[in-house]
Chains A and B, each alone.
Chain A
Amino acid sequence: MSILHARGVVRAFGHTPALRGVTLAIAEGEIVAVTGPSGCGKSTLLHCLAGILRPDAGEVIYRDHRIDTLSEGGRSRLRRTEFGVLFQFGQLVSELTAAENVALPLLLAGTGRRAARTAALSWLDRLGVADLADQRPGEMSGGQQQRCALARALVTEPRVLFCDEPTGALDSLTGEQVLSHLVRVARQQGTTVLLATHDARVAGYADREIALRDGQVDPSGFGVEAAIR
Chain B
Amino acid sequence: MSTPYVLMGLLAGGPKHGYDLKRAHDARLPRAKPLAFGQVYATLGRLARDGLVTPAGQDQDAGPERTSYTLTDTGHAALTTWLATVEPPLPHLTSVLLAKVVVALLVTDISQARGYLVAQRAAHTTRLRELTALKTDPDATLSDVIAADYGIAHLDADLRWLQTTLARVADLHKEIAR
Which residues of A does B touch, CB under 8 Å? 180, 183-184, 200-201, 203-207, 209, 220-224, 227-229
Whether B166 pairs with A222 at a CB distance below 8 angstroms is: yes
C-alpha spacing A204/B113, complex, angstroms? 25
Chain B residues with CB below 8 A from A201, complex form: 128, 132, 152, 156
- Counting CB contacts under 8 A, is B146 at the interface? no
- Counting CB contacts under 8 A, is B46 at the interface? no
Please tell me which one of the listed residues A206, A224, A229 contacts residue B118 in the complex, with CB atoms under 8 A apart. Answer: A224
6 residue pairs A–B, Cβ–Cβ below 8 Å: A201-B132, A204-B125, A221-B125, A227-B166, A227-B167, A228-B173
Chain B residues with CB below 8 A from A183, complex form: 136
Known: A220-B118, A222-B163, A224-B114. A203 touches B170 (CB 8 A): no
- Counting CB contacts under 8 A, is B122 at the interface? yes
Whether B122 pairs with A221 at a CB distance below 8 angstroms is: yes
Chain A residues with CB below 8 A from B163, complex form: 222
Interface range, B side: 20 to 34
Q: Quick one: CB contact mask for B157-172 with A, threshold 8 Å, 1 for yes?
A: 0011011001101100
Whether A200 pairs with B159 at a CB distance below 8 angstroms is: yes
C-alpha spacing A224/B121, complex, angstroms? 11
Whether B136 pairs with A180 at a CB distance below 8 angstroms is: yes
C-alpha spacing A204/B118, complex, angstroms? 17
Whether A204 pairs with B166 at a CB distance below 8 angstroms is: no
Chain A residues with CB below 8 A from B107, complex form: none
A193 shortest CB reach to chain B, Å? 14
- Counting CB contacts under 8 A, is B131 at the interface? yes
B140 shortest CB reach to chain A, Å? 10
The residue in chain B whose Cβ has the minimal distance to the Cβ of A223 is B166
Whether B152 pairs with A227 at a CB distance below 8 angstroms is: no
Whether A200 pairs with B160 at a CB distance below 8 angstroms is: yes
The residue in chain B whose Cβ has the minimal distance to the Cβ of A202 is B132
Interface residues of B in 126-169 (CB under 8 A from A): 128-129, 131-132, 136, 152, 155-156, 159-160, 162-163, 166-167, 169
Whether B170 pairs with A200 at a CB distance below 8 angstroms is: no
Known: A220-B118, A221-B118, A228-B114. A205 touches B132 (CB 8 A): yes
Chain A residues with CB below 8 A from B125, complex form: 200, 203-204, 209, 221
User: 4 tightest A-B contacts by CB?
Assistant: A204-B132, A204-B128, A227-B166, A220-B118
Chain A residues with CB below 8 A from B167, complex form: 227
Given contacts A200-B125, A221-B125, A228-B169, 15 further A-B contacts (CB under 8 A): A183-B136, A184-B136, A200-B155, A200-B156, A201-B132, A203-B128, A207-B129, A220-B114, A220-B121, A221-B121, A222-B162, A224-B166, A224-B169, A227-B167, A228-B110
- Counting CB contacts under 8 A, is B79 at the interface? no
B121 shortest CB reach to chain A, Å? 5
- Counting CB contacts under 8 A, is B117 at the interface? yes
C-alpha spacing A124/B169, complex, angstroms? 48
The residue in chain A whose Cβ has the minimal distance to the Cβ of B145 is A176
C-alpha spacing A200/B163, complex, angstroms? 11
C-alpha spacing A223/B131, complex, angstroms? 25
Whether A227 pairs with B170 at a CB distance below 8 angstroms is: yes
Whether B121 pairs with A204 at a CB distance below 8 angstroms is: no
Interface residues of B in 28-62 (CB under 8 A from A): none
C-alpha spacing A95/B27, complex, angstroms? 62
Chain A residues with CB below 8 A from B136, complex form: 180, 183-184, 205
